[in-house]
């Protein structure tokens, strides 16, 4: 994995707004005394949801709230690629280019992003409206290729469908998330290939009492036959 560094230009300060501060308190309260450091990832996520990215002042703020050395919070922020260490556009499109997505046509999705927005991977449009990033792995391999916009996944993309989603985003709309090929969730594409028979025939339930009685009878008959043979 490539080295991830903080942005050179940093804001002077960071503080959670009232809404996010309340959410942060509730998150911290979930952990026992002395274990508040466990809240580091959700608090960094809150900071990113408020600002769009994670800055050095945000890292220091989280460290102070959790009574952690700031270097430990920095280690977490720079390790996980879910955290943006540089400012991003208002709409952040994260294109998965891992093996599954690439085999299924991620390069065409990247091409659609470049042609529709005029920027490449890791770049932001001049008006600050869109950023396109490359990620690995989105964890939606069964519906590859895929890109994420915020918390929403757009799946089963190709060049045309990716372009349609981007056009809708540019118009300020929120296109329906999920599969863009029309399939139901992660169901197989096309017709079913297994379990195609109509399960109308239900096998009879086993009568355990009758089975036990038959076993005991057979056992008694075998013992009787053995005893009769011994007398002879």
Q: Are residues 172 and 111 in the same domain?
A: yes
Residue finishing a domain among 140, 159, 179: 179
Q: Per the structure, how many domains does the chain have?
A: 2
> Which range marks the domain in which residue 174 is found?
91-179
- As a whole number of angstroms, the distance between CA 11 and CA 155 comes to 35
Residue 226 lies in a domain: no
Task: Identify the pLDDT of residue 190.
Answer: 76
Task: Identify the pLDDT of residue 3.
Answer: 74
Q: Are residues 65 and 98 in the same domain?
A: no
Residue 232 lies in a domain: no
Residue 124 lies in a domain: yes
pTM higher than the cut 0.85:
no
Q: Are residues 173 and 114 in the same domain?
A: yes
Task: Identify the pLDDT of residue 56.
Answer: 96
Residue 56 lies in a domain: yes
Residue 213 lies in a domain: no
Task: Identify the pLDDT of residue 1.
Answer: 47
Residue 72 lies in a domain: yes
Tokens representing residue 144 in the block: 């590859």
Q: Are residues 61 and 128 in the same domain?
A: no
Residues of the chain with pLDDT below 50 are: 1
What CATH number does residue 24 fall under? 1.10.10.1590
Q: Are residues 102 and 169 in the same domain?
A: yes
Task: Identify the pLDDT of residue 184.
Answer: 84
Task: Identify the pLDDT of residue 61.
Answer: 97
What CATH number does residue 155 fall under? 3.40.30.10
Residue 171 lies in a domain: yes
Q: Are residues 170 and 144 in the same domain?
A: yes
Residue 49 lies in a domain: yes
């Amino acid at each position: 994995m490539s080295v991830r560094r903080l942005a050179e230009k940093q804001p002077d300060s960071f503080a959670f707004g009232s809404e996010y501060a309340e959410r942060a308190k509730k998150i911290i309260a979930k952990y026992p005394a002395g274990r508040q450091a466990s809240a580091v990832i959700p608090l960094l996520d809150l900071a990113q949801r408020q600002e769009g990215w994670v800055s050095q002042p945000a890292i220091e703020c989280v460290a102070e709230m959790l009574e952690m050395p700031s270097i430990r919070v920095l280690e977490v922020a720079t390790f996980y690629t879910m955290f943006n260490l540089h400012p991003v556009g208002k709409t952040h499109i994260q294109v998965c280019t891992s093996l599954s997505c690439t085999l299924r046509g991620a390069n065409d999705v990247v091409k659609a992003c470049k042609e529709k927005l005029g920027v490449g991977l890791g770049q932001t449009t001049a008006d600050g409206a869109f950023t396109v990033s490359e990620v690995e792995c989105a964890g939606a391999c069964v519906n590859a290729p895929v890109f994420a916009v915020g918390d929403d996944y757009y799946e089963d993309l190709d060049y045309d469908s990716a372009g349609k989603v981007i056009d809708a985003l540019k118009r300020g709309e929120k296109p329906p998330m999920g599969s863009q090929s029309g399939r139901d969730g992660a169901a197989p594409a096309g017709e079913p290939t297994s379990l195609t028979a109509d399960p109308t025939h239900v096998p009879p339930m086993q009568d355990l009492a009758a089975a036990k009685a038959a076993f005991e009878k057979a056992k008694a008959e075998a013992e009787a036959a053995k005893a009769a043979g011994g007398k002879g």
